[in-house]
Amino acid sequence: MLIETHAHLDYPEFVNDLDDVLRRAKDAGVTRIITIGTSVESSRHAIDLAEKHPAVFAAIGVHPTFVEEAQDDVITPLRELAKNPRVVAIGETGLDYHRLPSEQVAKEEQVQVMSALRTETDEEIEAQIRDGAYKSKQASLFQQQLDLAVELGLNVVIHQRDAWEETLKIIGLYTGNLRGVFHCFGGSLEQANEVLGLGHLVSFTGIVTFKNGGAVRKVAAQIPLWKFMVETDCPYLAPVPFRGKRSEPAHTRIVAETIAAAREIPLEEVAEATTETADKFFQFNRI
């Protein structure tokens, strides 16, 4: 028995064969799936799916890379949506500095970037201002969603990419008031211990199966068995041997098997521990 703690079942990749996807998950021993909202609209869709399929539950939130399209007030609709008993967490929310506006401009002007003697173009200066605005919008929506989670007594699914320090700074303001899971964890053992020490959890994706995933596989082997969960982040990050293809919740089993092998323990032990951890972290059957 496994719980897939991070799927994007509302994405168009699953529109044609969701019933088959859910059947394969069940056959693989994945008894529950949390589908994660990335915008207000996507969160609404996640709840629809959770209402339709008994194995599916929803997390609702606005993803940091979707903040520019977001309406001014996302909290009022999210608060309303959270009333639905199929909602088990807030998220995913967080910070993602992987693709800043200035990088796009730099890419377009790569030729000039190569030359040593040059001043910044107006376009680049403008892009840096846009970077600042983008980052502060992400931070603002992150904090608003953390506040909402505290208000509602729900835990949080945290997305962090290339923004570790800034994410920790914000989440540090909430220590003791809420718990989060740093999903798709790809950091060092020190970073894992840092968030575990603050009372949070981490979760691992198919990256643990990758050839170049040795470092994160090691982290998954070394942290306490009761401090992590498993996920796919499907449709992305399909584990080996499906790498590059669409991922799906059934692959949670491969993630768990890989971690069990790295820890040199039976799959059942990883399944039992991660399921119990997810059971406690997410508020299933809340009414």
* Residue ranges that bind Zn ion, judged by CB under 5 A: 92, 159, 233
Q: Which of 142, 136, 168 is nearest to 75 (CA)?
A: 142
Instruction: For residue 19, give every residue at least 6 positions away whose Cβ sits within 8 Å of its Cβ, in sequence order, or none.
Output: none
Q: Which is nearer to Zn ion, 223 or 234 (CB)?
A: 234
Q: Which is nearer to Zn ion, 32 or 127 (CB)?
A: 32
DSSP for 168-192?
HHHHHTTTTT--EEE-S--S-HHHH
Q: Which is nearer to Zn ion, 127 or 205 (CB)?
A: 205
Please answer whether residues 125 and 95 qualify as being in contact, where contact means their C-beta atoms are separated by less than 8 angstroms: no
Q: Which is nearer to Zn ion, 231 or 257 (CB)?
A: 231
State the minimum distance, in angstroms, from the CB of residue 145 to Zn ion. Answer: 14
State the minimum distance, in angstroms, from the CB of residue 183 to Zn ion. Answer: 6
| Chain centre to alpha carbon of residue 221 | 20
Identity of residue 221? A
State the minimum distance, in angstroms, from the CB of residue 58 to Zn ion. Answer: 13
Q: Which is nearer to Zn ion, 61 or 101 (CB)?
A: 61
Distance between CA 168 and CA 267 in Å, rounded?
A: 32
In the numeric block, the tokens 């190569």 are attached to 114
Extract the tokens encoding 84. 């639905």
State the minimum distance, in angstroms, from the CB of residue 84 to Zn ion. Answer: 20
Distance between CA 220 and CA 213 in Å, rounded?
A: 11
Instruction: For residue 72, give every residue at least 6 positions away whose Cβ sits within 8 Å of its Cβ, in sequence order, or none.
Output: none
State the minimum distance, in angstroms, from the CB of residue 227 to Zn ion. Answer: 19
State the minimum distance, in angstroms, from the CB of residue 4 to Zn ion. Answer: 12
Q: Which is nearer to Zn ion, 233 or 257 (CB)?
A: 233
- Tell me the residue nearest to Zn ion as measured from the CB: 159
Instruction: For residue 219, give every residue at least 6 positions away whose Cβ sits within 8 Å of its Cβ, in sequence order, or none.
Output: 185, 187, 188, 189, 192
State the minimum distance, in angstroms, from the CB of residue 128 to Zn ion. Answer: 25
Q: Which is nearer to Zn ion, 233 or 248 (CB)?
A: 233
Q: Which is nearer to Zn ion, 37 or 127 (CB)?
A: 37
State the minimum distance, in angstroms, from the CB of residue 38 to Zn ion. Answer: 7
Instruction: For residue 152, give every residue at least 6 positions away whose Cβ sits within 8 Å of its Cβ, in sequence order, or none.
Output: 79, 82, 90
Distance between CA 244 and CA 239 in Å, rounded?
A: 8
3-state secondary structure of 230: strand
